[in-house]
Amino acid sequence: MVEKDKGAGIDDFIEWFLDENEEMTKPKPKEIVLMKKICMLGDPAVGKTSLIARFVYSIFDDKYLETIGAKVTKRVMALTHVPTGQNFRLKLMLWDIAGRKTLEHVRSSYHREAEGGLLVCDVTRRSTLENMDKWLGSFFSVTGEVPVVFIANKTDLHQDAQFGEKEVAALARKYNSPYVLTSAKTGENVEESFRELGRRIIQRYLDNRPQKPAEQGQ
Ligand code: GDP
Ligand code: MG
């Protein structure tokens, strides 16, 4: 199924997620296949694991069990770059921090070779927003500048919110990156946040690709 992109940001892509059967099919001729490590970043209990659980299995379990070690899950995205007609198959390898680790407890090996990040804060705790700079600084010190998306999670708890969209937008603007307001509980915008990151990753790939003479000056 093809869903038209309704999100803000890059409109040059049509993208969708493959189900398990579609993942097994051979890539189309000339389809570019990429595999990228993505890190979930943010303070304990902001909802990193819940967002992944919602995205990968489409369920939300309040009793989600804490995992041991970094847990890696996979989801495959298909994208068409509309202006060129180029098709991509993007394998997102989603790395999640085990348990309730603060930034001090995250090793640099967690970040190593990551090519994208989802920075998650919790709208009911302002400190989780304030810590985003530190999470990003630590991440970029290992990976260099790679595409990131800011996520303000738990929007279903709006009555307890300690900050709003304005603050998240200001933070995202500082890093020239998109932001998404999500609820892992209701599922609102969860998929959109992963789509946004996928589009950015492919855009970066296209920007860094050596240009053919015919493409120059476009
Ligand atoms: P992590 O430490 O960042 O991986 O956070 P978890 O995913 O373990 O979530 C921490 C707690 O917040 C759990 O009790 C979740 O059920 C709860 N939680 C996560 N996302 C949401 C959300 O969007 N809304 C609400 N109400 N609770 C959430
Ligand atoms: Mg977790």
DSSP 155-194: GGGGGG-SS-HHHHHHHHHHTT--EEE--TTT-TTHHHHH
Asked whether residue 124 is assigned to any structural domain, the reply reads yes
Give the residue whose CA is nearest to atom 19 of ligand 1. Answer: 47
Asked whether residue 37 is assigned to any structural domain, the reply reads yes
Q: What is the mean pLDDT of the chain?
A: 87
Q: Is the pLDDT of residue 166 over 70?
A: yes
Q: How long, in residues, is the chain? A: 218
Q: How many domains does the chain have?
A: 1
pLDDT, mean of residues 91-102: 88
What is the phi-psi region of residue 30: left when phi exceeds 0, alpha when psi lies from -120 to 50, beta otherwise? Answer: left
34 CB less than 6 Å from ligand 1?
no
d(C-alpha 137, C-alpha 175), whole Å: 11
N-term to C-term CA, the chain: 31
Asked whether residue 67 is assigned to any structural domain, the reply reads yes
As a whole-number percent, the residues of the chain with pLDDT over 70 amount to 86
Asked whether residue 36 is assigned to any structural domain, the reply reads yes
Ion ligand 2 contact residues with beta carbon within 5 A: 48-49
Contact 109, 141 (CB under 8 A): no
* Domain of 198, in residue numbers: 2-207
Asked whether residue 17 is assigned to any structural domain, the reply reads yes
Q: Is the pLDDT of residue 155 over 50?
A: yes
Contact 2, 22 (CB under 8 A): no
Contact 70, 95 (CB under 8 A): yes
Other C-beta atoms lying within 10 Å of the C-beta of residue 107: 11
Asked whether residue 213 is assigned to any structural domain, the reply reads no
> How far, in Å, from the CA of 170 to the mean position of ligand 1?
24
pLDDT, mean of residues 189-214: 89
pLDDT of residue 73: 86
Q: Is the pLDDT of residue 216 over 70?
A: no
50 CB less than 6 Å from ligand 1?
yes
Give the three-class secondary structure for 162: coil
pLDDT tens-digit series, residues 21-73: 787 788 888 999 999 999 999 999 999 999 998 888 655 554 444 443 678 88
Asked whether residue 9 is assigned to any structural domain, the reply reads yes
> How far, in Å, from the CA of 143 to the mean position of ligand 2?
22
Domain harbouring 33, CATH code? 3.40.50.300
d(C-alpha 75, C-alpha 195), whole Å: 11
How many Å is the Cα radius of gyration of the chain? Answer: 17
Asked whether residue 214 is assigned to any structural domain, the reply reads no
pLDDT of residue 63: 45
